[in-house]
């Protein structure tokens, strides 16, 4: 089995960056299972463990561990073991805050050209979740999309798409039905040769069904939502890169119950571009949009131009990003202080009679 790496996104720039490493071969990570990577190489998929250089880098920064979508360099040893010896620089990365207290990030997917926020129309779309995930998608550097799934359950999908466009300024909102094959053409354009579409959304949103529809094969298990409460079942528990016939790839991520933002100032600004445009009209450049005079944001809120729900969502995410930025700053300062203390600690003299 051979794989055309250019169809998965390998290009002249990446080849130029590793031209001196002739003892290694490139590949793209399809999935990671407990530190073992399935990597798509020119000779087909291989299983690879992590090399020493990768482990050493990850000890200082866990985001440097390989994840689905990464381009890596592989080495094959005399005993036929294969190791990942380097993770190549990422052009884009979906990074969420981890659930722990150390203010670190977790890379969900790498090297996406487009990141789709997948939201089901049934029982009803969660606008707050769309806004949060759009901020994450904007921050990644990939082109964001909103994909409304299961439109066969909506009486007027086009009207719903127009309604939700208000919470996704400048972002295409695509209503689709994987079951009926409706509305998939715009998504197929995102997985042509060299491009990768990432899917991000809750369990039961239909991400796996989209993967199967785009791959024209059943490659991911798919289940619906529970009829009792409409909540999704967790079907995909890993991140998986799936090549698409004809070139390109789609990357499915596990259903996320909650996504914490990490240093997402740029993404938040873009996700709420309508409010950012209003804020540019405030009298004071440092306006807090609370009780300051001539606040264009408050004026739009009072007039009804800016919905109160969207304003509160924006302020809530602003506070979250500011808090996480401060926490990360404290952690990094503590790490630098600890490194200085260790560097200045005098060496112990050898014991008497020692070698």
Per-residue pLDDT of the chain (355 residues; tens, 9 = 90+): 789 999 999 999 999 999 999 999 999 999 999 889 999 999 999 999 999 999 999 998 889 999 999 999 999 999 999 999 999 999 999 988 766 555 577 899 999 999 999 999 988 899 999 999 999 999 999 999 999 999 988 888 888 999 999 999 999 999 999 888 888 999 999 999 999 999 999 888 989 899 999 988 666 555 544 433 444 444 445 579 999 998 999 999 876 555 667 666 889 999 999 999 999 999 999 999 988 899 999 999 999 999 999 999 999 998 888 887 777 767 667 767 777 777 777 766 666 665 4
Indicate whether 348 belongs to any domain.
no
- Length of the chain measured in residues: 355
Evaluate whether 224 touches 171 at the Cβ level (below 8 Å). Answer: no
DSSP letters for 255-290: --S--B-SS-HHHHHHHTHHHHHHHTTSSSTT--SS
Can you give the pLDDT at residue 340?
Answer: 75
By DSSP bridging, strand 143-149 and strand 114-120 are parallel
Mark which of 87, 120, 149 sits at the end of a domain. Answer: 87
Does 97 lie in the same domain as 78?
A: no
Kindly tell me the sign of the dihedral angle through the C-alpha atoms of 55, 29, 271, 195: positive
State how many domains the chain has.
Answer: 3
The CA distances from residue 164 to 26, 123, 174, 270, in Å, are 41, 15, 10, 16
Distance of CA 217 to the CA centre of its chain: 24
Could you give the CA distance from residue 72 to residue 93 in angstroms, rounded to a whole number? 15
Indicate whether 355 belongs to any domain.
no
Does 195 lie in the same domain as 109?
A: yes
Exposure string of 260-279, with b = 16+ CB inside 10 Å and e = fewer, is bbbbbeebbbbbbebbeebb
Indicate whether 350 belongs to any domain.
no
Does 203 lie in the same domain as 228?
A: yes
Does 179 lie in the same domain as 205?
A: yes
Indicate whether 35 belongs to any domain.
yes
Could you give the CA distance from residue 303 to residue 313 in angstroms, rounded to a whole number? 18
Determine the structural domain holding residue 45 and report its residue range. Answer: 5-87
Task: Render pLDDT for 55-104 as a digit per residue (tens, 0 to 9).
Answer: 999 998 889 999 999 999 999 999 999 999 999 999 999 988 766 555 57
| pTM for this entry | 0.85
Element (H, E) at 316: helix 308-344
Could you give the CA distance from residue 100 to residue 124 in angstroms, rounded to a whole number? 31
Can you give the pLDDT at residue 176?
Answer: 94
Biggest alpha carbon distance in the chain? 88
Could you give the CA distance from residue 238 to residue 254 in angstroms, rounded to a whole number? 6
Can you give the pLDDT at residue 234?
Answer: 43
What do you get for the CA distance between the two ends of the chain, in Å?
A: 57
Does 63 lie in the same domain as 148?
A: no
Could you give the CA distance from residue 243 to residue 211 in angstroms, rounded to a whole number? 10
Does 243 lie in the same domain as 149?
A: yes
Closest to 30 (Cα-Cα) out of 64, 60, 72: 72
Indicate whether 74 belongs to any domain.
yes
Does 103 lie in the same domain as 248?
A: yes
The tokens describing 277, both together, are 């445009």
Does 294 lie in the same domain as 201?
A: no
The tokens describing 262, both together, are 């990490």
């Amino acid at each position: 089995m051979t794989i055309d790496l250019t169809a998965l996104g390998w290009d002249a720039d990446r080849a130029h960056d590793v031209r001196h490493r002739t003892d290694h071969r490139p590949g793209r990570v399809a999935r990671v299972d407990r530190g073992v990577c399935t990597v798509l190489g020119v000779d087909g998929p291989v299983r690879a463990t992590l090399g020493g250089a990768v482990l050493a880098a990850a000890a200082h920064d866990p985001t440097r561990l390989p994840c689905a979508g990464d381009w890596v360099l592989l080495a094959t040893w005399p005993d036929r073991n294969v190791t990942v010896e380097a993770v190549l620089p990422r052009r884009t990365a979906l990074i969420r805050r981890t659930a722990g207290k150390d203010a670190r990030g977790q890379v969900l997917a790498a090297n996406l050209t487009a990141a789709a926020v997948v939201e089901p129309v049934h029982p009803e779309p969660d606008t707050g979740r769309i806004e949060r995930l759009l901020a994450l998608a904007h921050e990644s550097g990939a082109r964001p999309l909103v994909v409304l799934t299961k439109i066969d359950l909506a009486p007027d999908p086009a009207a719903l798409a127009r309604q939700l466009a208000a919470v996704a300024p400048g972002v295409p909102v695509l209503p689709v039905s994987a079951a009926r094959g409706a509305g998939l053409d715009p998504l197929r354009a995102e997985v042509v040769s060299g491009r990768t579409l990432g899917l991000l959304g809750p369990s039961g949103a239909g991400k796996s069904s989209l993967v199967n529809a785009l791959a024209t094969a059943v490659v991911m298990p798919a289940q619906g939502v529970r009829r009792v409460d409409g909540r999704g079942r967790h079907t995909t528990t890993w991140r998986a890169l799936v090549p698409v016939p004809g070139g390109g790839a789609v990357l499915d991520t596990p259903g996320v119950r909650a996504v914490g933002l990490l240093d997402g100032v740029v993404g938040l600004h873009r996700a709420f571009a309508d409010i950012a445009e209003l804020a540019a009209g405030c009298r004071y450049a440092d306006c807090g949009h609370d009780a300051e005079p001539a606040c264009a944001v408050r004026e739009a809120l009072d007039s009804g131009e800016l919905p109160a729900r969207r304003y509160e969502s924006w302020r809530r995410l602003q506070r979250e990003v500011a808090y996480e930025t401060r926490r990360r700053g404290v952690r990094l300062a503590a790490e630098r202080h600890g490194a200085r203390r260790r560097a200045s600690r005098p060496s112990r003299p050898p014991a008497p009679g020692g070698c």
